[in-house]
Chain A
Amino acid sequence: GQQLNQSPQSMFIQEGEDVSMNCTSSSIFNTWLWYKQDPGEGPVLLIALYKAGELTSNGRLTAQFGITRKDSFLNISASIPSDVGIYFCAAPAQGGSEKLVFGKGTKLTVNP
């Protein structure tokens, strides 16, 4: 079945540093989504990408839809303590349904 591989699994950084994480698959997708999950809460949609090569920003967050359509990247600039959480990539499952497949997540820890 379709799998999304996220890396790294976890990151420990200092406040103010930039962060990069990625999501890869052996399957081609037409949509990539990035979610953030705060501790004790459900995931929240951060950025949606719909076109190969697309670069989209949301404040300090920037995500890119890889040109091969098999990967996506998320960057966070000038990290702050509230960036702590788990970041998930997601993409629609095959078959044209509304189902989403999620990666296992990248857990981010920001030290003040």
Chain B
Amino acid sequence: DAGVIQSPRHEVTEMGQEVTLRCKPISGHNSLFWYRQTMMRGLELLIYFNNNVPIDDSGMPEDRFSAKMPNASFSTLKIQPSEPRDSAVYFCASSSGTHYGYTFGSGTRLTVV
């Protein structure tokens, strides 16, 4: 089992550019979560999907953020346009829905300059 795979590991982009983060969940897990981690705010849930359907996007900061899950093995988080305050580590996690055992990916460290 390769675990949750995120790409890229690091992304540096200029303010105003579009950024797309990618995630491949563990096969068989039916829930997928996108989290953002900063020093100030810790781990924040942005959005989560169950069976590829967005269930709760109340944590998405604003309209510049969007997430999709076109199939059970792939999800994207897009920021357009990006701003310096979006700089953070973005984690994807997946779960089989039992006992809340999330498995996290290694994260994407985003720097917007």
- The answer to whether B97 and A42 have CB atoms under 8 Å apart is no
Determine if B100 and A92 form an interchain contact, defined as CB atoms under 8 angstroms apart. yes
Question: Which residues of chain B have a CB within 8 Å of any CB of chain A?
Answer: 4, 31, 33, 42-43, 45, 48, 50, 55-56, 91, 93, 95, 97, 99-107
Is chain B's binding surface mostly helix, strand, loop or mixed? strand
- Nearest first, the 8 A-B pairs at minimum CB distance are A42-B104, A102-B43, A104-B42, A43-B104, A42-B91, A98-B31, A42-B107, A41-B106
| Interface presence of A33 (CB below 8 A) | yes
Instruction: Determine which of B43, B45, B95, B97 lies in contact with A88 in the assembled complex, contact meaning CB atoms within 8 Å.
Output: B43
A-B contact number at CB 8 A: 51
Q: How far is the CA of A7 from the CA of B91 in the complex (A)?
A: 24
* CB pair A100 B45 closer than 8 Å: yes
Task: Indicate whether A102 sits within 8 Å of B50 (C-beta atoms), given known contacts A45-B102, A97-B56.
Answer: no
Nearest-Cβ distance from residue B23 to partner chain A, whole angstroms: 11
What are 28 inter-chain pairs, A to B, with CB distance below 8 A?
A31-B100, A33-B100, A40-B107, A41-B106, A41-B107, A42-B4, A42-B93, A42-B104, A42-B105, A42-B106, A43-B91, A43-B102, A43-B104, A45-B103, A88-B43, A92-B100, A97-B48, A97-B55, A97-B56, A98-B48, A98-B95, A98-B100, A99-B33, A100-B45, A100-B100, A102-B43, A104-B42, A105-B42
